[in-house]
Amino acid sequence: MKNIDTLLKSANADAYILYANSNDPDMRYISGFNVSDPLLCIKCAGKRPALIVPQMEKERAAAESACDVLTRGEIGFFEYYEEFKDGFKAQAKMTADYVAENGIEGRDGSAGGEKPTVLVPENFPIVFARELENYCTLTVDRGGMGKIRSVKTADETAKIRACQAVNERALAFAVNVIKTAPADNGELRIPVGMSGEGDPLTSDVLRGLIECFFLKNGCVAEETIVSCGAETAMPHNIGHGVLCENEPIVLDIFPRDTKTGYYSDMTRTVLRGEASRELVKLYDTVAAGKKLGESMIRAGVKGCDVHNAVLKYFEDSGYHTETEGFIHSLGHGVGLAIHEQPSLSPSGGELAQGHIVTVEPGLYYKDIGGVRLEDMGLVTADGFDLFTKFEEKLIL
Amino acid sequence: MKNIDTLLKSANADAYILYANSNDPDMRYISGFNVSDPLLCIKCAGKRPALIVPQMEKERAAAESACDVLTRGEIGFFEYYEEFKDGFKAQAKMTADYVAENGIEGRDGSAGGEKPTVLVPENFPIVFARELENYCTLTVDRGGMGKIRSVKTADETAKIRACQAVNERALAFAVNVIKTAPADNGELRIPVGMSGEGDPLTSDVLRGLIECFFLKNGCVAEETIVSCGAETAMPHNIGHGVLCENEPIVLDIFPRDTKTGYYSDMTRTVLRGEASRELVKLYDTVAAGKKLGESMIRAGVKGCDVHNAVLKYFEDSGYHTETEGFIHSLGHGVGLAIHEQPSLSPSGGELAQGHIVTVEPGLYYKDIGGVRLEDMGLVTADGFDLFTKFEEKLIL
């Protein structure tokens, strides 16, 4: 919590206020609590964060969170509600009073009843913000918490590595299904011995198999991309049809560890049968682009420079980018969010030791298809500690 | 979109602005698009909503969304960015200009360059709101869109029923696993013929089996509650240990259909072996409370009255509620959000035809355990059309 205290100090704020459930990475980071309904969390300068929970969550929050747990009753919410007859109005006054009592002791003039200053994340809900502004000076944190979260501790790094290890086992399993699937007139079938054997092996079936693999291994994945053929030219098309021979299959997999909340992210493009010469050349170019990007990464390098170098390499190789081509960013941070700071994109800033980033160049053309390859690793003082060990091979 | 136009009119607003991904039920409802990164959606009065997407999402959005799709380039985002050098500042001016051009034609004085008025949801991000306020009058929608979403069309009702049908098949499967699990010194084991047979049947194992069942059937479920024994006294404890004989097992399952985005929600409490007399009495009381609640539901009745009647029934039966007892609401709306309007709680308002709600009384005591039973159905003019057909039986 030291970094957050530093952030509060530099913003001249008495407390950081969150109102979110734990799908929100800031909430998960500060509270350490896994909860599906939004909760209020108040982190006063120099104090442990306070998590305000309904009575029914008290015990679990006390056992599992990293916070001082207060029930709504204990913090007086119901009395505030009685006064304001509106949940957000009540919560706003309650929050302001709590900060005034607990948050501003170190500041000059606090004894004089000065208005507290609170820092809130960019996604803080407007309805609560407007009420809070009646009692507090409210400052929006433009990326400060995201910057703190972007630098991973050894413990966080180990958690992300562990998630990536499961990810690679899942991809190996998926690739093996594609490899061993019988083909019927160019269409793949579910392999012998698997549930539904002989039925068409569709993107949806393989996605289901991959996502089940994660559930059995302590992770959860959604929107897993298993696209084939023409679909691969749309980078975010998750895929729906039957998987076919002689066409690229993009597997982009980003599970979250259900216990820790941390993500990993990896993409491979594979093909059963024979690839067109154009596709092989596309693949080799993307692979070389990825290698180039990875070779440039170390603390102090700018994300935009890495992105632009790969873009230039593609241009120099004859692959132009307009509405087709390399139409997304080279990479992004990964942590409690699947996309977080830093960014390897035209606007990407300086990389720092402890950043965990993906490198995922892709080239997409309607008449050839799409290829994307994605690794993940840790930015170090002098290089890039690659977590991804999975082989790179187009033709299975 | 007619209801949204009515909402805009009553708020005297020119447009409804959303900035969210499709986990946000309002965004999913208005855009009809499934996307994991936040997008801007502008619904001007009397117009189809406009969805602003990155180039790479254009084709998919055009094919899948219910919007007029504009790429960032087409709406001029990059020129705005060039001017402001900040994504939210640029997006705010761009949004205001778009609304001024497309949204206020029907209003008096619009030709004179009047400032547009926009309506935003409660969870609209403060960072974007503050920038928008430079160009627009910004009004927070206090539940208007949620109220629109709460009344389901026949098509939505069919989608929720379909999700509930899968839910019941999943629960039947789960109950059968518990029923056929061999017991060893009171601890259940994974049944013969299943992967891991003979290993301890833990909450996590059964949760994984249930969630895989959903994946194979076009749904996704997270945080499925499979709690046992002492855990059942904490209503939101998802459960972790080995499932045991002679103790209550709470199964609370709320899958979302991955194609439609709609949820269903159901809870049963079961037991293998012998139940204590106290637990049987608790179960029978909760079952009778549910029946009472369901019998009261019809359009025009207040949610608070249903909740309070069940609470009173429990009190009259000798089950008091303080830190233990009936410590949550009786029920909630279900749709594109798992918890939405209306509410069957002390603050619940009038039920309307087309509402889809759960009825889920529970009683929780440390020395007995917890019991919760939850059904779901449609509020009609003269009653409650129950979707949930699953049998109610404590002892398997």
pLDDT band at A111 (very low <50, low <70, confident <90, very high): very low
Distance CA B266, CA A178 (A): 36
Residue B254: list chain A partners with CB under 8 A.
none
Residue of B nearest to A140 (CA): B127
Which amino acid is it at B302? K
pLDDT of residue A237 exceeding 70, the answer is: yes
Evaluate whether A359 touches A375 at the Cβ level (below 8 Å).
yes
How high is the pLDDT of residue A113?
A: 58
How high is the pLDDT of residue A60?
A: 87
Residue of A nearest to B219 (CA): A208
**pLDDT greater at residue B4 or residue A105:** B4
pLDDT of residue A104 exceeding 70, the answer is: no
Distance CA A124, CA A118 (A): 12
User: CA A265 from chain center: how many Å?
Assistant: 8
Task: Give the pLDDT mean for A51-63.
Answer: 91
pLDDT band at A236 (very low <50, low <70, confident <90, very high): confident
Best mutation target, A17, A26, A56, to test chain B (most B CBs within 10 A): A56
pLDDT, tens digit, 9 for 90 and up, residues B214-248: 998 999 999 999 999 999 999 988 999 999 999 99
What is chain B's mean pLDDT, rounded?
A: 94
How high is the pLDDT of residue B175?
A: 98
Which amino acid is it at B317? S
How high is the pLDDT of residue A323?
A: 86
User: Which helix H or strand E contains B131, and what residues bound it?
Assistant: helix B126-132
Distance CA B385, CA B351 (A): 13
Spans of all domains in chain A: 2-149, 154-386
How high is the pLDDT of residue B59?
A: 87
Which amino acid is it at B195? S
pLDDT of residue B105 exceeding 70, the answer is: no
pLDDT, tens digit, 9 for 90 and up, residues B75-99: 999 999 999 999 999 999 999 999 9
pLDDT, tens digit, 9 for 90 and up, residues B148-202: 999 999 999 999 999 999 999 999 999 999 999 999 999 999 999 888 899 999 9
CB contact under 8 A, A125 and B126: yes
Which amino acid is it at A391? E
CB contact under 8 A, B56 and A130: no
pLDDT of residue B327 exceeding 80, the answer is: yes
How high is the pLDDT of residue A109?
A: 44
What is chain A's mean pLDDT, rounded?
A: 94
Distance CA A263, CA A277 (A): 35
Evaluate whether B223 touches B124 at the Cβ level (below 8 Å).
no
CB contact under 8 A, B60 and A236: yes
Evaluate whether A157 touches A379 at the Cβ level (below 8 Å).
no
Evaluate whether A221 touches A252 at the Cβ level (below 8 Å).
no
Distance CA A273, CA A245 (A): 5
User: Which helix H or strand E contains B203, and what residues bound it?
Assistant: helix B203-216
CATH topology of domain B2-148: Creatine Amidinohydrolase; Chain A, domain 1 (3.40.350)
Best mutation target, A33, A71, A82, A127, to test chain B (most B CBs within 10 A): A127
pLDDT of residue B204 exceeding 70, the answer is: yes
Task: Please measure the distance between the N-terminal and C-terminal CA atoms of chain B and give it in whole angstroms.
Answer: 48
Distance CA A269, CA A275 (A): 12
How high is the pLDDT of residue B107?
A: 55
CA dihedral (A298, A301, A303, A305) in degrees, to 10, reads -120
CB contact under 8 A, A236 and B211: no
Number of H helices, E strands in chain A: 12, 20
Residue B153, Cβ neighbours under 10 Å: how many?
A: 9
Residues of B with CB under 8 A from a CB of A: 23, 35-37, 54-57, 59-60, 88, 120, 122-130, 138, 140, 142, 195, 204, 208, 211-212, 215-216, 218, 220, 222-223, 234-237, 323, 327-328, 338-339, 364
Residue A134, Cβ neighbours under 10 Å: how many?
A: 12
3-state secondary structure of A67: coil
* Phi and psi based region of residue B349 (left: phi greater than 0; alpha: psi -120 to 50; beta: remaining): beta
Distance CA B225, CA B232 (A): 9
Q: Name the residue with tokens 């207040």.
A: B302
Which amino acid is it at B1? M
pLDDT, tens digit, 9 for 90 and up, residues A115-156: 899 999 999 999 999 999 999 999 999 999 999 999 999 999
pLDDT of residue A291 exceeding 70, the answer is: yes
Task: Give the pLDDT mean for A374-395.
Answer: 97
Task: Give the pLDDT mean for B332-354.
Answer: 97
What lies within 8 Å, CB to CB, of A160 at 6+ separation is A152, A262, A263, A264, A334, A335, A356, A376, A387
Residue B129: list chain A partners with CB under 8 A.
126, 129
Alpha helices in chain A (DSSP H): 2-10, 25-31, 58-64, 72-75, 77-84, 87-102, 126-132, 144-150, 154-180, 203-216, 277-296, 303-316
pLDDT band at A105 (very low <50, low <70, confident <90, very high): low
How high is the pLDDT of residue A133?
A: 96
Distance CA B51, CA B63 (A): 12
Who among A23, A125, A216 is closest to B124 (CB)?
A: A125
Distance CA A116, CA A10 (A): 15
Distance CA B318, CA A236 (A): 56
Cα-based distances in Å from B119 to B19, B42, B129: 12, 10, 11
CB contact under 8 A, A323 and B55: yes
Distance CA B303, CA B306 (A): 5
User: CA B379 from chain center: how many Å?
Assistant: 17
* pTM for the predicted model, two decimal places: 0.88
CB contact under 8 A, A222 and B223: no
DSSP state of A244: B
pLDDT band at A110 (very low <50, low <70, confident <90, very high): very low
Residue A211: list chain B partners with CB under 8 A.
215, 220
Half-sphere exposure of B107 (CA within 13 A, CB side): 25
Residue of A nearest to B133 (CA): A126
Class of domain A2-149: alpha beta
How high is the pLDDT of residue A324?
A: 93
Q: Name the residue with tokens 């994605």.
A: A374
Q: Tell me what percent of the residues of chain B surpass a pLDDT of 90.
A: 89
pLDDT, tens digit, 9 for 90 and up, residues B113-158: 578 999 999 999 999 999 999 999 999 999 999 999 999 999 999 9
pLDDT, tens digit, 9 for 90 and up, residues B259-287: 999 999 999 999 999 999 999 999 999 99
Distance CA A45, CA A16 (A): 8
How high is the pLDDT of residue B110?
A: 47
How high is the pLDDT of residue A45?
A: 93
Closest-CA distance of chain B to residue A138, Å: 10
Q: CA gyration radius for chain A?
A: 24
Residue B195: list chain A partners with CB under 8 A.
216
How high is the pLDDT of residue B111?
A: 44
Evaluate whether A267 touches A253 at the Cβ level (below 8 Å).
yes
The architecture CATH gives domain B154-386: Alpha-Beta Complex (3.90)
CB contact under 8 A, A126 and B122: yes
Q: Name the residue with tokens 């045991």.
A: B244
Residue of A nearest to B213 (CA): A212
How high is the pLDDT of residue B154?
A: 97
